[in-house]
Structure 1
Amino acid sequence: MSSSPLSPSAPGRLPLLRPPDPHGHAKVSFVELFFDLVFVFAVTQLSHTLIGHFSLAGVLQTGFLMLAVWWVWIFTSWVTNWLDPERLPVRLCLFAIMLAGLLMSAALPQAFGERALMFAGSFAAIQVGRTLFFLWAVRGAERPMVRNFQRIGAWLSATAVLWIAGALHEPLRVPLWLAALAIEYVGPSAGFFVPGLGRSTTSDWNVSGGHLAERCALFVIIALGESLLVTGATFAAEPLTPIGVLAFLVSFAGSLVMWWLYFDTTNDFASGRIARSDDPGRLARLAYTYLHLPIVAGIIVNAAADEFVLAHPSGHTDLRTAVCLLGGVGLYAIGVGLFKRAVVGRWPWSHGLAALLLAAAGPFVHDWPAVATSAFACAVLAALAAWERASRAACLVPDSAAGETEPSIGP
């Protein structure tokens, strides 16, 4: 792995950087897990917003807000990859972000309405404040480290103006916020280029790959937990009927299969790949910063589908239920496939086939009971997970570089 001033093992490590880890996998601390609790609430808010405002405008707004929530979380995870959460100043910074994140999450259902300033102000304060804290934490460090976050600070300060301006001017809110979020998402791919400061390269972002992989896996767990919460809460509120029990069991099975596909066929292999990569920053930027988005989005959309199915399990599958069931599971399958493509280097065609099967069922599911549509989507995902598991077991090959075996995922 290439050396970088950001590496915990770099000579002259600053006091607030993580200490060297002999296993090359920085530990996920309890304070990071505590920090994630705010985003449990955020994911709950997003799924409930989607359920309560399922229209074209509501879906687009919820998708936009999900992108914003993910961006706050993943940026913070990058920073705690380098800074030591066991140090008091870093903990205090995380607690401040938690408070702002709680305000941001509380504002989500009315983010485009009366709580626009609360949402945008909290979001901008987190993005800019966290960057300023990092610059303070690494003061006196080697120039590349400081330059990286000076560039990030310039980009996020510019978008903060757009966020606040959009909150204050309702007629311009949507275009200004779209511009702000687009700029932030383009930033990492553009190396946060700033005239006079140049651009960052992925070799500058030397991360603990295992730590970042574990953090993203924990966010997937958060999203799956919300799916189970929706299933349990909706089932508890509905009359106890045989078909209701069946719908509950199918929804629960769907969450299990989502867990199976990600954690049993993908996560461990991907974690090993990034931990041994010569350029972990490139893989972390693509596979974890960008490509986990459709994975998390698919789970949130499927949670909304579980609510719709459990509320009306025996009726015909209406449009919103079909879109959330087939679209959510399809988005998840595509997301995991893209993630595998990033870490393996080739597209697993089985994921594309699963998405096509789900799409092909779209014109027919209106005549099916909602529970049957849910069972079909669950069966497609279960078949995909079983196929990938069998393929993984059949493709174990020696990895001379790692001195161990690792699978070549996908058929």
Structure 2
Amino acid sequence: MNDGEGKRVSWVELYLDLIFVLAVGELAHLIVDEPEMRSVWIALGLFFTLWWTWIGFSVLYNRFGVDKAPQRLLFLAGSVPTGVAAVAIAPASTGDVTVFALSLAATRVVLAIANGWGGAWREVLRGRITIAYGISIALFVVSIWVPEPLRYVLWALAIAQESGALLHEDRKATRRMRETRSFKELVPANPQEAIDSHHFAERFGLFLIILLGEVVVEAGQAAANAHVDSFDGWGALVAAMILAAALWWLYFDAAAEVNLKVLELSGGSPTMARAIFAVGHMLPSFSLLLVASGVGLLLEEDPPRIAYWLPCIAIGMYLLSTRVFMVTTNRAGRAARLVLLVAIFQLGRLHETLSPHPYLWLLAALAVTCAALAWRTGDRQEDEDVAAYIGRE
């Protein structure tokens, strides 16, 4: 994804990602251990808070990172409360949020210090971000004594105001871009606010790799726990691996490059970075988490009904949210893709007619088909994808 231009992902960022691997695994286990819709909604809420915590570190290094000892120490310090928050997911899912909320508050203390380090808080941008994290710290701490559901409203307010400080959304500029179909409307006037396109695209690509890895991990663990010793069982494991590979192809063959190009054309606009990465990648990321949970359940000895619905709905959401699957200049092709997409969302109805292992093969086959349909070739198709993106924003 990176051809040598722009900032590269640092080693300390990759180490911090290991902590989020732990969090992703805990969220997947939450759904697998209690396979019901309530668990899915709880996982989504917890994922949302952890997602923006991760984005805080990504934006910090993207704009101000120099990969020197003081900043490395701050990132490593931030990994400690983040890791505690990951382990605290289980009690938080049952309503005991004290450790989880305090850990998120402590993480934001580190982020506030890192953004305001060395008097940088006096600058307009870094001062705005530091203040926003200070407000978030207070809201997360206070939420410990606030009953549900108001507690989660405080969390949402904390994230909303800090995300606005990190990546402000200029609605007027976005409207002008749609009218003129020119990304120049979004170029930030202050160069300090600009996002390094290559680094940002690479960070989110690496996070999707983590989530795709969770699909493989859940499949492997479920197969091992079920003591696979038949051709059918090993075949289902292979199907799960093929499914993960097809989902990888759907993003990295086309969507990743289109997203990078759009952000580059906007001059690293924080508004565009927020739209296509910080917000735009949240749904496909959570979709992969649901795919991992569904695959893990399907490989168990007696999977529940929800095991059929989770992966098909998640694959449908992934196709919609990554956009490239529906991008085509052929009307008949678009109609056929729409029909296929609707059919994927309905596959859960097959729980009464298909056993889990053949169902996994069906999911894998459809994912491969979608990847083949979305396969783009040449710069002309990429330009069409970008034009379609502008039209859909």
Q: 1:88 to 1:301 in 2, by over 3 A?
A: same
Name which of 68, 85, 90 aligns with 1:104. Answer: 85
Q: Is the 8 A contact 2:116 2:126 kept in 1?
A: yes
Q: 1:85 to 1:44 in 2, by over 3 A?
A: farther
- The amino acid of 2:49's aligned partner reads A
Whole-Å separation in 2 of the counterparts to 1:236 and 1:138: 53
Name which of 199, 216, 229 aligns with 1:228. Answer: 216
* % identity of equivalent residues: 21
Specify the alignment match of 2:152 in structure 1: 177
Whole-Å separation in 1 of the counterparts to 2:265 and 2:78: 31
Whole-Å separation in 1 of the counterparts to 2:337 and 2:267: 28
Q: 1:352 to 1:29 in 2, by over 3 A?
A: farther
Matches within 5 A, 1:344-363: 352-363=338-349
Q: 1:372 to 1:339 in 2, by over 3 A?
A: closer
Whole-Å separation in 2 of the counterparts to 1:132 and 1:202: 28
Whole-Å separation in 2 of the counterparts to 1:396 and 1:31: 35
Structure 2, unaligned stretches of length 5 or more?
A: 170-185, 328-333, 389-393
Specify the alignment match of 1:65 in structure 2: 46
In the TM superposition, structure 1's runs of 4+ consecutive aligned residues that sit over 6 Å from their partners are: 190-193, 338-341, 348-351
Whole-Å separation in 2 of the counterparts to 1:183 and 1:85: 28
Aligned length: 359
Q: Is the 8 A contact 2:108 2:136 kept in 1?
A: no
Matches within 5 A, 1:361-400: 361-389=347-375, 392-393=376-377, 396-397=379-380
Q: Is the 8 A contact 1:291 1:338 kept in 2?
A: no
Q: 1:192 to 1:333 in 2, by over 3 A?
A: closer
Specify the alignment match of 1:238 in structure 2: 226
- TM-score, normalising length: structure 1: 0.79
Specify the alignment match of 2:385 in structure 1: 409
Partner of 1:362, secondary structure, is helix
Q: 1:294 to 1:272 in 2, by over 3 A?
A: same
Q: Is the 8 A contact 2:81 2:104 kept in 1?
A: yes
Give the drift of 1:114: 7.1
Give the drift of 1:353: 4.4
Partner of 2:65, secondary structure, is coil
Q: 1:245 to 1:80 in 2, by over 3 A?
A: same
Alignment of 1:47 onto 2:28: yes
Q: 1:355 to 1:86 in 2, by over 3 A?
A: same
Q: CA RMSD for the aligned pairs?
A: 2.9
Q: Is the 8 A contact 2:312 2:346 kept in 1?
A: no
Q: Is the 8 A contact 2:81 2:107 kept in 1?
A: yes
Matches within 5 A, 1:3-402: 24-113=5-94, 115-137=96-118, 139=120, 146-169=123-146, 172-185=147-160, 187-188=162-163, 203=188, 204=190, 205-239=193-227, 240-312=229-301, 318-337=304-323, 352-389=338-375, 392-393=376-377, 396-397=379-380
Whole-Å separation in 2 of the counterparts to 1:140 and 1:322: 50
Over residues 251-304 of structure 1, what are the superposed CA-to-partner deviations in whole Å (9 max), with x where a residue is unaligned? 111111111111112212322332343353222111110011111111111111
Q: 1:318 to 1:105 in 2, by over 3 A?
A: closer
More helix by share: 2
Structure 1, unaligned stretches of length 5 or more?
A: 1-20, 194-200, 342-347, 398-404
- TM-score, normalising length: structure 2: 0.82
Specify the alignment match of 1:3 in structure 2: none
Q: Is the 8 A contact 2:283 2:321 kept in 1?
A: yes
Partner of 1:409, secondary structure, is helix
Give the drift of 1:176: 1.8
Return 325-334 or 350-359, whichever deviates more.
Answer: 350-359
Give the drift of 1:378: 2.1
Q: 1:407 to 1:202 in 2, by over 3 A?
A: closer
- The amino acid of 1:282's aligned partner reads T
Partner of 1:408, secondary structure, is helix
Q: Is the 8 A contact 1:132 1:153 kept in 2?
A: yes
Give the drift of 1:112: 4.1
Partner of 1:207, secondary structure, is coil
Q: 1:151 to 1:86 in 2, by over 3 A?
A: closer
Over residues 161-216 of structure 1, what are the superposed CA-to-partner deviations in whole Å (9 max), with x where a residue is unaligned? 332222234xx1432223322441365458769xxxxxxx9725201111010000
Q: Is the 8 A contact 2:255 2:323 kept in 1?
A: no
Over residues 290-332 of structure 1, what are the superposed CA-to-partner deviations in whole Å (9 max), with x where a residue is unaligned? 01111111111111111111113xx6x7421122121221121
Partner of 1:311, secondary structure, is coil
Over residues 199-247 of structure 1, what are the superposed CA-to-partner deviations in whole Å (9 max), with x where a residue is unaligned? xx97252011110100000000111111111111221222311221121
Q: Is the 8 A contact 1:100 1:125 kept in 2?
A: yes
Q: 1:287 to 1:48 in 2, by over 3 A?
A: same
Q: Is the 8 A contact 1:152 1:192 kept in 2?
A: no
- The amino acid of 1:294's aligned partner reads L
Return 293-302 or 348-357, whichever deviates more.
Answer: 348-357
Give the drift of 1:160: 2.8
Partner of 2:70, secondary structure, is helix
- The amino acid of 2:143's aligned partner reads G
Partner of 2:323, secondary structure, is helix
Q: 1:261 to 1:350 in 2, by over 3 A?
A: farther
